[in-house]
Structure 1
């Protein structure tokens, strides 16, 4: 603006400083999946686990998103968005009736059909194994599963049963006899007199297997034989519809879809083909938005050959079918599944790895920066993971690493850690996730910080201002250790002048800014050279 001075005197004019470019958010995750309550297909911000439970419900068996969000906050995450998916199929919750009370499985699906419920007499704090008709004012409620489910005559293949078997064995649950039949007690709630509101609240806030939607004022009769849950049906989750909503949230940078691991085929076995398709849908969304990085969960129960087939799109052993190869710089795959401790049930629960992994992403971003790989015995330490489904060896990782599969490992003296830092891309330039996430960070920061450039005169003044602002931003990054170089000039370059903005492009209203970065690569292989020094004999001896 040209100053217009009309009279002698002192004039004050504020001169704008260089516009600073603020770093884009890198640790805000989006979790897509099933929940007990809350709005459908509407990204909702939550800033703590308590905030999640108030809006979306509690931890539920076979509701993998709830566990992932719980672990995200446990491992260092601070805020995330929740997108509850809709069921485009015929999913139903398994139910059981005891007198006037209807109990429901905690989440939708056929898994609930394996549950049974038993009402017994007893005293507070004590659950008896019998179903005597001798009524006492106090009753206990047991959630059980039949011995024949846990120890079948033929090896099961359906995922729901395999998960229950793994849970019972991991927690060393013992059999109990009820009316001369053997059961495993999954949960026991003791010392009730009436199934009133306190009964409902206690079970609904502590159980991961069942819910009490209604109450009564009459003590239910004892059940000599446990009553089965039935009519549970698997859903068809609309993951794509949920993915489409992410474009409305600007600060997102991470993505997980834990409930993809619950997708099964008609026999109930993990549907690895559909799961690989869903993984590619998530990656496609990340590539389109250019701001998200997807942490992919592998199907449950895969061995080394199985996870390699899932990643590479090759037929699994003893199968002629294969899914799509998973290949993109906008995602990472972790293996195997993990066990975490549930303080409400005092037991270990199986979960896919995305929850604790994303917690470590968020924690490392805060403490170090997006350019630091969330891996290793410090930044990759998963302190709330109690065990892993497979104990991987160095030779296992020699196979996993070249295929872009990041290992979760148990290391002596360090515990359970993330021990891989690769994307699922086969492009050598984008091997490491820290490099891809650094470029996402820089690109989004510049996109947000240079909005003022639009509609400005495309001339030397603008080119100089843009170069100045970007140089200041990248110099700070270099100083923080994000870029490689003994001097800032070695770490990056910026070209925004007449050489890349000739008259013909300016006539089209286009401004070109060419930027080159020298990212810091993680020290994935640490080579230690050991030399033995032999004493030289004294020549005078």
Structure 2
């Protein structure tokens, strides 16, 4: 505040400094790319716990090596991850709600993401709406996800006073897109939008009467190289290149497509180049054929030079043996990238980036 002189003399005025505290930059945000039970495809989603992964991507899945790598990351000290879900031939569960009056088309809906998980969704429609709303076009929609083990509600969403009219303030397509984690209106819509609301169906008191899917979903098959770095993926920002949509990542993990196979070497090469372009580092899983230290030394020489000797990549051997929660906690062999990334993150948080994630502090 300017000083007001009241008599002759020397006055001192403090001017606010333009100096700002230097904020530390994240150094261990780890990106994972692979299959998951559910969740958005080719979109980097930031999570900060394995509970987040369970909620958005469905948790552990025996066919998803990525799900185990993410779990190992958080178990070993990781705290910040980006997940890119890829699929191969997966399909989405669909629903069709008959109109309350004719002639009109059915209201077509679908699960929010591909996969068989959508078969557990049930829909309830009722007409207990606001008195001022149009009873011909406005309705309430409830979406319930059942637990397949108990057939009881796992989570539910209720959308009141939604409308089939595209220009309505609560158009059902817009409301579901912005507010629902379970259901969507197909885009593009496969038919003509109905002119009247869907008929009442089901009851929240008896979910056996709720509307089920008309078309089942499919989890797809194991990923191949084309899903990671195929023709057009870079321009479309899909596969590993979906990470170009993220603000920052420091480490990249590409778990093998299946437990019995290794990551394609051409994919690894392109991923390392992508890391180089984004000043990140790739953690490369050693091939499963490297069973001994001697085999690793021999195998490293057969790796392409861009993989074996690169400032933006590191190959980790051997694979890790850990309990598998989906197999009665029997000890199984896993790719080490998630464990290693977790050790990186823990060391950065506890000791700082100047401390190598090695030695006695890098316990797993």
Shorter-chain TM-score tier: 0.5 to 0.7
2:270 is aligned with 1:281: yes
Could you list the per-position Cα deviations for residues 115-150 of structure 1 after superposition, in whole angstroms to 9, with x for gaps in the alignment? xxxxxxxxxxxxxxxxxxxxxxxxxxxxxxxxxxxx
Partner of 2:204: none
2:290 maps to 1:341: no
RMSD (Å) for aligned C-alpha atoms: 3.8
> Which whole-Å CA distance do the structure 2 matches of 1:78 and 1:325 have between them?
27
- 8 A Cα contact 2:87 2:220, kept in partner: no
Q: What residue number does 2:290 align with? A: 302
Q: 1:366 to 1:233 in 2, by over 3 A?
A: closer
Kindly report which structure 2 residues correspond to 1:391-470, keeping only aligned pairs within 5 A, or say none.
none
State the distance in 2 between where 1:28 and 1:201 align. Answer: 37
In 2: Cα distance, 1:78 partner to 1:279 partner: 25
Matched residue, 1:331: 313
Query: Which whole-Å deviations, capped at 9, do the CAs of 1:233-263 have from their partners, x for residues lacking one?
Result: 54325223332222332332111111x3539
* Larger RCO, structure (CA 8 Å, separation 6 or more): 2
Cα–Cα, structure 1 residues 376 and 6, in superposed 2: closer, same or farther, change >3 Å?
Answer: closer
Unaligned runs of 5+ in 1: 93-106, 109-196, 206-216, 218-230, 264-268, 315-321, 383-541
Map of 2:249 onto structure 1: 252
Does the Cα contact within 8 Å between 1:339 and 1:348 map onto a contact in 2?
Answer: yes
Unaligned runs of 5+ in 2: 92-114, 117-145, 155-207, 209-218, 230-237
Q: How much does 1:8 deviate? A: 7.7
Residue 262 (1) aligns with residue 274 (2): no
Deviations 1:193-224, CA, capped at 9 Å, x for gaps: xxxx665359xx9xxxxxxxxxxx9xxxxxxx
Q: 1:325 to 1:356 in 2, by over 3 A?
A: closer
Report the TM-score, using the length of structure 2 for normalisation. 0.55
Number of aligned positions between the proteins: 236
Higher helix share: 1
- Supply the distance in 2 between the matched residues of 1:91 and 1:52 (Cα, whole angstroms): 19
Q: Matches of 1:347 and 1:83 in 2, distance apart?
A: 28
On the 8 A contact 1:300/1:337 being kept in 2, the answer is yes
Partner residue in 2 for 1:398: none
What TM-score do the two structures reach when normalised by structure 1? 0.38
Alignment deviations for residues 31-86 of structure 1 (CA, whole Å, 9 cap, x no partner): 11110100011111111111101110121223110001101111111121111123
Instruction: State the 1:294 CA deviation.
Output: 1.2
Bigger Rg, which one? 1
Aligned to 2:123: none
1:350, distance to aligned residue in structure 2 (A)? 2.0
Distance 1:340 1:288, change over 3 A: same
Q: Is residue 2:240 matched to residue 1:243?
A: yes
SS at match of 1:45: strand
**Alignment partner, residue 35 of structure 1:** 36
| Residue 381, structure 1, aligned to residue 363, structure 2 | yes
Contact kept in structure 2, 1:295 and 1:331, CA below 8 Å? yes
Report if the CA contact (8 A) 2:36-2:57 is conserved: yes
Counterparts of 1:56 and 1:297, CA distance in 2: 23
Change (3 A) 1:250 1:234: closer
Kept in 1, the 8 Å contact 2:29–2:251? The answer is: yes
SS of residue paired to 1:341: strand
d(CA) in 2 for partners of 1:332 and 1:323?
12
Aligned 8 A contact 2:32 2:81 in 1? yes
Query: How much has 1:281 moved relative to structure 2?
Result: 1.5
